[in-house]
Amino acid sequence: MNSTFDIIVVGAGHAGCEAALASARMGAKTLLITQMVDRIAAMSCNPAIGGTAKGHLVKEIDALGGEMAKAIDATGIQFRILNRKKGAAIWSSRAQADMALYSRYMKKTIESTPNLFLRQDSVQQLLVEEVDNKIAVRGVIGGIFGEMRAKKVIMTTGTFLNGLIHIGKHTSPAGRAGDAPSIELADFVRNLGFRVGRLKTGTTPRLDARTINWSILERQDSDEKIIPFSFSTEKIKQELIPCYITHTNAKTHETIRNYLSESPLYSGQIKSSGPRYCPSIEDKVVKFPDRTSHQIFLEPQGYDTCEVYPNGISTSLPLKAQIEFLRTIRGLEEVEVVRSGYAIEYDFIDPTELDATLETKRAANLFLAGQINGTTGYEEAAAQGIIAGINAACSVLQKEALVLSRAEAYIGVLIDDLITKGTAEPYRMFTSRAEHRLYLREDNADSRLTPAGRRIGLVNDADWERYEIRKQQVQEGLQYVRETAIKEEDIRIPLSAPIIPGMKIAQLLKRPELDMEDVNVLPGLPELVRRRIAIELKYEGYISREVHSMKDTETLDKILIHENVPFQTINGLSNEVVQKLKHFQPRTLGQASRISGITPSAVHVLRIWLKNRGNSHSKGV
């Protein structure tokens, strides 16, 4: 039996799938091991991909040559752009998924990818050996397939390490509902000395669509003009399904309050911290007592299922309480529950144990990606997965690693936040986390990252050709609108001020009240390209200032700090700064500058020291 690979990926969730596809597509012989092959890329929680800042991550994965965007375009049942009334920097794509189709699409993609092998097994240990006083990982040991060797191992075990489910007072060990937890592997990594913490997340009950009174609820359809997630999807062709909206009310909140003593969140049964930005309905009722209602989106889980996901009421109350409070909600008066809501506690590994490639500092050849690093979200996991897969393959194929800076990608922001600051609660992406968000938009993710994806061998010929055509269309379109005068008959809406004869289209499009769809200009171009032209024009002043300020970030990120810098001998660095630098072991001066407590003057002292010490400790000063 074949048991030697270049790369072994443990866990076929959202991180593992992207990691395995990236490494196999780059030419590394890759094995993907997971506990249940018919739950590949399962959506443990909401049946949706994207959302504020999450959509940006999905576009970036796509631009690099990853799969998530293509998967949701093929299996999505409702598509919307969020925040359309705000600035273009935060316009975020979001799509509801047919959960079963999404998982089947990913499984089929994995099974049809050359160099990629799949096995159903539960990995219990890593194969390790000591080399020069450092641990080196050499493979894994599965409960059924036994020893499997590899040059690199990527762990993407999500919420499974010591997973413990809570429903009221009832607890049960599980990676998620219906899946066994990873106990042995959790103990093994803890015994290797990794800093391990405990986090929690939760999910909603699943409702039977046949028992919901849809006729009295507000309907929410897809956008009229749909821009697909993937840059390579021409058009969304499948039938689309609406969501519906309802709200909790005072009776709902009173019912929940009556059961709080049985909530594991409020009885002290759950001690770990949960995702602040995705609170349970218990948290909402307790923390916002004045709110008279909370919005709930009723999201169908697919074409061929009666299950509906009520987004906004994640709970770990006893099932009896869940049914009681649900039936106080408009439209749910007769509702039946198919699956109970629950909370889950799980181990995660402190992400400051990682370097920017997502390889661990403590154990050579071991990469970590996904919720194991303290994030929450399919998109955050997939973004780490593709980077870990790329860098494990680059290491095997002796190519230069891919490290994205905060100035070039949300993926760069995500990984830099994790490895530099760590996290005390499940980390999810927000546009406010990116200091260069005006530049890091969804619409230009391809120009920011597709050349890198092509260089490392992940962007295929067809996608590269499409990219080249798009790039030319944007350049020629911008030139056309800058040189061509607008004609009255091409304007579709009343103007706040008349046009001056000979006014160029570009000048008119800079007006805040106008968007590309308000002028009959460049009608033959794809919607994605027309939108990009309009954004580039409207924001060109801000963007050029942004690009200028990014240079400072990039300069510091290019000043490397080697592992053996004796921080304690550097005059001018306080003990607190020395402790932080020793703990976090930043690889660049930029990373050091972002560690909380590292002052600008400490950065300056360190920069001078590195410059004077030459390249024994640093490069690029």
Ligand X SMILES: Cc1cc2nc3c(=O)[nH]c(=O)nc-3n(C[C@H](O)[C@H](O)[C@H](O)COP(=O)(O)OP(=O)(O)OC[C@H]3O[C@@H](n4cnc5c(N)ncnc54)[C@H](O)[C@@H]3O)c2cc1C
Q: Give the footprint of ligand X on this chain (CB under 6 A).
A: 10-16, 33-36, 39, 44-46, 122-123, 156-160, 175-176, 179, 182, 185, 201-203, 278, 344, 370-371, 376-378, 381
- Secondary structure class of 519 (helix, strand, coil): strand
Q: What kind and span of H or E run contains 389?
A: helix 378-396
Alpha-carbon distance of 472 to 331, in angstroms, equals 51
Nearer to ligand X, 381 or 514 (CB): 381
Alpha-carbon distance of 38 to 381, in angstroms, equals 19
**CB of 67: closest distance to ligand X in angstroms?**
13
Q: Which residue is nearest to ligand X (CB)?
A: 13
CB 522 within 8 A of CB 533: yes
Alpha-carbon distance of 390 to 27, in angstroms, equals 10
**CB of 273: closest distance to ligand X in angstroms?**
14
- Secondary structure class of 332 (helix, strand, coil): coil
Nearer to ligand X, 278 or 506 (CB): 278
**CB of 16: closest distance to ligand X in angstroms?**
5
Nearer to ligand X, 284 or 470 (CB): 284
In 10 A of CB 334, how many CB atoms?
11
**CB of 538: closest distance to ligand X in angstroms?**
31
Alpha-carbon distance of 586 to 591, in angstroms, equals 6
Sequence-distant (≥ 6) Cβ neighbours of residue 402 within 8 angstroms: 357, 387, 390, 391, 394, 452, 456
CB 449 within 8 A of CB 405: no
**CB of 278: closest distance to ligand X in angstroms?**
4
Supply the DSSP symbol for 499.
P
Nearer to ligand X, 104 or 511 (CB): 104
Burial class (CB in 10 A: 0-12, 13-18, 19+), 564: exposed
Nearer to ligand X, 258 or 295 (CB): 295
At residue 166, what is the residue type? H
Measured between alpha carbons, how far is residue 605 from residues 63, 150, 610 in Å?
Answer: 38, 42, 9
**CB of 479: closest distance to ligand X in angstroms?**
41
Nearer to ligand X, 300 or 477 (CB): 300
**CB of 463: closest distance to ligand X in angstroms?**
24
Cα 260–Cα 266–Cα 270 angle in degrees, nearest 5: 135
Nearer to ligand X, 377 or 453 (CB): 377
Nearer to ligand X, 34 or 444 (CB): 34
**CB of 89: closest distance to ligand X in angstroms?**
21
**CB of 501: closest distance to ligand X in angstroms?**
53
Nearer to ligand X, 90 or 516 (CB): 90
- Diameter over CA atoms, the chain: 78
At residue 361, what is the residue type? K
**CB of 429: closest distance to ligand X in angstroms?**
10
Nearer to ligand X, 127 or 578 (CB): 127
Alpha-carbon distance of 44 to 344, in angstroms, equals 11
CB 177 within 8 A of CB 165: yes
